[in-house]
């Protein structure tokens, strides 16, 4: 069974930089998995941040960036703001019409 791994929680100071990662239990994450990232606040639908590894969705501030770091996909927030406090999910495309989400990272800004 394919498992996509994310840090359960992370904290960052206002104005600081944080990198969240997205790994695979059985392989290295590459661009071939088309990693994408979503932000979700409680009670709200997810919001698309990054797709195709590093392309920002329309209207997403440039303090959000995506990349491959080592064998994982990464979401970096530079200059974190209070309203960045959210849950962040990555999802990988496995092929054959199948996606797998990571367990999500709860980001605290304090």
Partner 1 sequence: EVQLLDSGGGLVQPGGSLRLSCAASGFTFSSYPMSWVRQAPGKGLEWVSHISTSGGSVYYADSVKGRFTISRDNSKNTLYLQMSSLRAEDAAVYYCARRGLPLGYWYFDLWGRGTLVTVSS
Tokens of residue 47, six digits = 């919001």
Site for partner 1 in 82-101 (CB under 8 A): 87, 89, 91, 93, 96-101
Q: Does 60 bind partner 1 (CB under 8 A)?
A: no
**The binder of partner 1 chosen from 52, 71, 81, 108 (CB under 8 A):** 52
The whole-angstrom separation of Cα 60 and Cα 79 is 14
Q: Does 59 bind partner 1 (CB under 8 A)?
A: no
**The binder of partner 1 chosen from 5, 19, 57, 67 (CB under 8 A):** 57
Q: Are 29 and 72 in contact (CB under 8 A)?
A: yes
**The binder of partner 1 chosen from 19, 30, 40, 54 (CB under 8 A):** 40
The whole-angstrom separation of Cα 7 and Cα 34 is 19
Q: Are 101 and 4 in contact (CB under 8 A)?
A: yes
Q: Does 46 bind partner 1 (CB under 8 A)?
A: yes
């Amino acid at each position: 069974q394919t498992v996509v791994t994310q840090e359960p929680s992370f904290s960052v100071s206002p104005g600081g930089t944080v990198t969240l990662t997205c790994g695979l239990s059985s392989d290295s994450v590459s661009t071939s998995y088309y990693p994408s990232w979503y932000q979700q606040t409680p009670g709200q639908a997810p919001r698309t941040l990054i797709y195709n590894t590093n392309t920002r969705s329309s209207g997403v501030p440039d303090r959000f960036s995506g990349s491959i770091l080592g064998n994982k996909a990464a979401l970096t927030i530079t200059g974190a703001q209070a309203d960045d406090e959210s849950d962040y999910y990555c999802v990988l495309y496995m092929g054959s019409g199948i996606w797998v989400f990571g367990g999500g990272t709860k980001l605290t800004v304090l």
